Every structure is written in C-alpha cells, then in structure tokens.
C-alpha cells in the first residue's frame, strides 16, 4: 500500500480509474439522450403528419357545406343591394346608413335586414319632418307618451299604410294609399295626443289610435269590431257608431305587444287590398 493510500488519499491509479469510469458513464448517458431525442423527434413528426392529415380530411368533409354558406351569403348580399337601390330615392341623407346595411347583410338574414332598412327610411322621414316644422307632433317630447306615439306611427307605416300631416300639433292622419293622402280623400284614421289642449301648460296623457269605420275595407272593419271579445286588446278598446279607437297611457311590455298585434291586423288588410 502506497503512502497516499496510508494517508487516506486516493492514489494516481485510483484517480485515473475513476476518470475512466466517469468518461464511460458520460458517453453512455449522451448516447441514451441522443437516442431518446431522436425517438421523440420521430414521434413528433408522426403527430404532425397525423394532424395535417386530419385537417385535410376535415376541410374536404366540410368544403361542400362552406360552399353552400358562401352561396347563401352572396344571395343575401345581392338581394339587399337591389333593395338598397330602391331605397336611395328616399334621400341622399341615408346613403351612408345603407352602405353599413350592405355590410351587415353578409352575416344576417335578408328579411331582418330589409326590416331594418324600412325602419331607417321611416326614421329619416321623421327627422326630415321634425326639421321642416317645429309644430309637427313628432317634435314634442313627453316621455312614455311620446314613445307610444312614435311606436304606433312606426307600426302603422310598417303595416304598409301611409301617415300624413295636416298642420295639426296633436294629430297625424292615416291613409291606405299615398295618393289618397296627397288628394286628402278617404282618410281611414288618425293617431292623436289626448289629455291636453295646451302642451305648454300640461303634457298629454294618452295616445289614441283611431279608425273611421265608414272608410275601412270590409275585412279590417270586421276584424276591428270583433276585438271586443279578445281580452288582450279589449282593455284598450273604445267602439262608437263611427269609430274604433285604441287608447294607450303607459309604456309597458303589454302595451307594446298590443300595438304589434293591431299592426299585424293592419298588415293583413294591406296585403289583401293592395
């Protein structure tokens, strides 16, 4: 035993053997790591190939459906474009809104878009009337009562009837045809603020939606007179010898549903008579 061993310190030979052992184990470890890396790389490539294959199959599977959707969007866009050309005659002031609507048409149903166009046209007409004469009923603001007045006017117009104004601050007139309004004949009804004769002192409390029985088409006259038995509308209804009148005082979900129900009756009449 050497001096270094006696002193408890490894000899040079022992140190060399230890270095060889470390080098050998390092080489084996590197070999193992390289092999594992290669195996992982091959497995990743297999996963990528499988994903690309699945993606390709998925695209092929849904290509037909995508084509159908694209065709439908194109058809909707063309329909709204045609309708926009007709609406442009209402005034250049809504041209920008129509451009926005044409963009919306790419992702919405055509019927919804056309309803929206109608609403924009009506809004433009109301704004034009407000600017033209400050005494028009559209000019006033009485909170809920005004909201009801505008809702009834909009529902009447959406039904296909024509609203005119004869220089009265409380009332607009209803005609079945625009030509009748122009000649001021065959007025079938009116929409009116009630509850005040002096708006400067007291705000109106009620909006009446009145129809002249003598001027109504027979089908609409029959339907309106039959409303008395319908509980959902009867609470708003007043019937006299010459008129059927609906009166609204509060803006609630029930009143809006009643207004829309009456609007559907008017729309049915317009479809039959025009």
pLDDT (tens digit, 9 = 90+) per residue, 161-175?
Answer: 999 988 888 899 999
Q: How many domains does the chain divide into?
A: 2
**Is residue 6 in some structural domain?**
no
Mean per-residue pLDDT, 173-188 = 91
Mean per-residue pLDDT, 99-104 = 61
Chain segment 65-96, per-residue pLDDT in tens? 656 656 655 665 676 566 556 555 555 555 56
**Is residue 1 in some structural domain?**
no
Whether 152 and 268 map to the same domain: the answer is yes
Residue 123, pLDDT score: 57
**Is residue 46 in some structural domain?**
yes
Q: CB–CB of 123/228 below 8 Å?
A: no
**Is residue 3 in some structural domain?**
no
Q: CB–CB of 218/237 below 8 Å?
A: no
Residue 25, pLDDT score: 81
Domain that holds residue 267: 135-273
Q: What are phi and psi of 211, to 5 degrees?
A: -125, 135
**Running DSSP on this structure, what letter comes out for residue 94?**
G
Task: Report whether pLDDT(256) > 90.
Answer: yes
Task: Report whether pLDDT(131) > 50.
Answer: no
Of 115, 132, 149, the residue that ends a domain is 132
- Residue 260's pLDDT band, with cuts at 50, 70 and 90, is very high
Per-residue CA distances from 108 to 1, 67, 256 (Å): 96, 17, 25
Task: Report whether pLDDT(264) > 60.
Answer: yes
pTM surpassing 0.75? Answer: no
Rounded CA-CA distance 78/95 in Å is 17
């Amino acid at each position: 035993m050497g001096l270094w061993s006696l002193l408890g310190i490894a000899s040079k030979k022992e140190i060399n053997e230890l270095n060889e052992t470390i080098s050998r184990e390092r080489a084996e470890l590197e070999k193992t790591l390289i092999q594992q890396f290669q195996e992982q790389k091959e497995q990743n490539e297999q996963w990528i190939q499988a994903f690309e294959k699945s993606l390709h199959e998925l695209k092929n599977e849904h290509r037909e459906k995508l084509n159908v959707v694209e065709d439908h969007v194109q058809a909707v866009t063309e329909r709204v474009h045609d309708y926009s050309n007709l609406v442009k005659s209402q005034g250049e002031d809504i041209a920008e809104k129509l451009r926005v609507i044409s963009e919306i048409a790419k992702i919405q149903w055509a019927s919804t878009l056309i309803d929206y166009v109608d609403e924009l046209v009506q809004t433009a007409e109301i704004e034009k009337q407000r600017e033209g004469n400050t005494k028009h009923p559209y000019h006033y603001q009485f909170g809920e009562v005004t909201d009801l007045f505008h809702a009834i006017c909009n529902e009447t117009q959406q039904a296909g009837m024509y609203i005119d104004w004869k220089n009265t601050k409380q009332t607009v007139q209803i005609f079945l045809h625009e030509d009748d309004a122009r000649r001021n004949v065959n007025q079938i009804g009116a929409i009116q603020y009630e509850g005040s004769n002096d708006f400067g002192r007291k705000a109106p409390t009620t909006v009446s939606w009145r129809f002249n029985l003598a001027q109504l088409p027979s089908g609409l006259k029959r339907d309106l007179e039959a409303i008395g038995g319908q509980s959902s509308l009867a609470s708003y209804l007043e019937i006299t010898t010459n008129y059927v009148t609906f009166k609204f005082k509060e803006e609630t979900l029930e009143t809006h549903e009643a207004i829309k129900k009456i609007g559907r009756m008017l729309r049915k009449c317009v479809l039959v008579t025009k």
